[in-house]
């Protein structure tokens, strides 16, 4: 399904406005100095941000909302289109799928949220300070878990079809406005942008250990480095809740057999507290280390998918100014 289509940005925005009659559309909009997904209406179609990493919220918040009644599995009135998803978040969906779409225990709420979404991935034409996806084998452009890829080059939107859902959506867009087939030179320009960003990511992060090496370093480390780096941690849990692959949750029961799922975070005090007051993660540095053991040591023992996609959000969100990459480099250089 190696097919590109293109149209002017003006015609694309007209098509999106028409699609609002049939879909809820979410896309990145400016949010102070940052950007985050917002539900698009006619007034905000022209404000969508393209090809700039990365929305503050990860893709997982659409599949695993912060709070959700998991008994309610009724279909929504409209399907939704999620536009502008970076590759790091699309790759993060692999481990979510492994956990929640397991062959034996499928999670109905997660499956509903996944099935009702059309995913439009976005090439990253720039990079942010803490982006390091290529260190963990992920390229800065969509390669999996998406229906369309979208690139804005100058004033032209280029779409690459990657699934039956994507083909159907392009057909609907083609019924609204005329689509063109890009020239070889135009496609080459997209590929050149990809290559340039990938090379820059590799150059900036050339000293970071890869995923497997990081797991070995963490597993063989002593307590001192975790005590040192956790000194400014305030247990806010931002690193876990904003992570595209962290999945811990609490299931609360309510009257009428309702079950409400709340996202949880291993950095919260009392996360592992059990009967009689025992708490194996009572000490802060142990909770701090636990998250990295989970991502780089324990998850690889149970799942095939990578549990860190190098998005860098945990570094950006940390109010204690803790950089996991600085910690890993210190371990690597010892």
Q: What is the mean pLDDT, run by run of 10 residues, along the chain of 334 residues?
A: 88 97 97 93 97 96 94 82 98 97 92 96 96 97 96 96 96 96 95 97 97 98 97 96 95 90 94 91 96 97 96 97 97 92
pTM of model > 0.85: yes
Q: Are 275 and 97 in contact (CB under 8 A)?
A: no
- Cα end-to-end distance, the chain, whole Å: 48
Go through the chain and tell me how many residues it has.
334
Alpha carbons 270 and 278: distance in angstroms, whole number? 9
The DSSP result for 62-77, as a single string, is HHS-SEEETT--PPPS
SS percent in the chain: helix, strand, coil, step 5: 40, 20, 40
Alpha carbons 265 and 255: distance in angstroms, whole number? 25
The predicted pLDDT at position 63 comes to 97
Q: Are 244 and 309 in contact (CB under 8 A)?
A: yes
The predicted pLDDT at position 254 comes to 87
């Amino acid at each position: 399904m190696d097919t590109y289509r293109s149209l002017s940005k003006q015609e694309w925005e007209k098509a999106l406005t028409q699609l609002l009659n049939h879909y809820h559309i979410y896309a990145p909009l400016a949010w102070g100095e940052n950007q985050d997904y917002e539900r698009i209406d006619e007034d905000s179609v022209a404000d969508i941000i393209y090809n700039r990493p990365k929305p503050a919220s990860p893709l997982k918040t659409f599949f695993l909302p912060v709070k959700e009644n998991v008994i309610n599995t009724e279909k929504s009135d409209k399907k939704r289109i999620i536009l502008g998803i970076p590759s790091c978040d699309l790759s993060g969906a692999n481990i979510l799928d492994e956990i929640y779409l397991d062959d034996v225990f499928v999670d109905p709420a997660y499956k509903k949220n996944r099935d009702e979404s059309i995913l439009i991935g976005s090439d990253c034409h720039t990079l942010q300070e803490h982006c390091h996806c290529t260190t963990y084998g992920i390229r800065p452009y969509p390669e999996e878990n998406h229906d369309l890829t979208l690139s804005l080059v100058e004033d032209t939107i280029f779409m690459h079809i990657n699934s039956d859902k994507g083909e159907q959506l392009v057909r609907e867009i083609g019924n609204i406005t005329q689509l063109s087939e890009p020239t070889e030179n135009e496609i080459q320009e997209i590929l050149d942008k990809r290559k340039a960003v990938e090379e820059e990511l590799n150059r900036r992060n050339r000293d970071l250990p890869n995923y497997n090496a990081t797991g070995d370093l963490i597993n063989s480390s002593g307590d001192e480095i975790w005590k040192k780096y956790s000194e400014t941690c305030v247990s806010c849990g931002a690193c876990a809740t904003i992570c595209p692959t962290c999945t811990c949750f609490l299931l609360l029961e309510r009257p009428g057999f309702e079950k409400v799922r709340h996202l949880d975070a291993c950095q919260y005090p009392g996360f592992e507290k059990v009967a009689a007051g025992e708490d194996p993660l009572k000490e802060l540095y142990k909770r701090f280390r636990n998250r990295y053991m989970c991502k780089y040591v324990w998850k690889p023992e149970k799942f095939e998918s990578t549990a860190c996609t190098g998005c860098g959000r945990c570094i950006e969100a940390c109010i204690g100014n803790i950089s996991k990459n600085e910690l890993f480099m210190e371990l690597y250089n010892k």
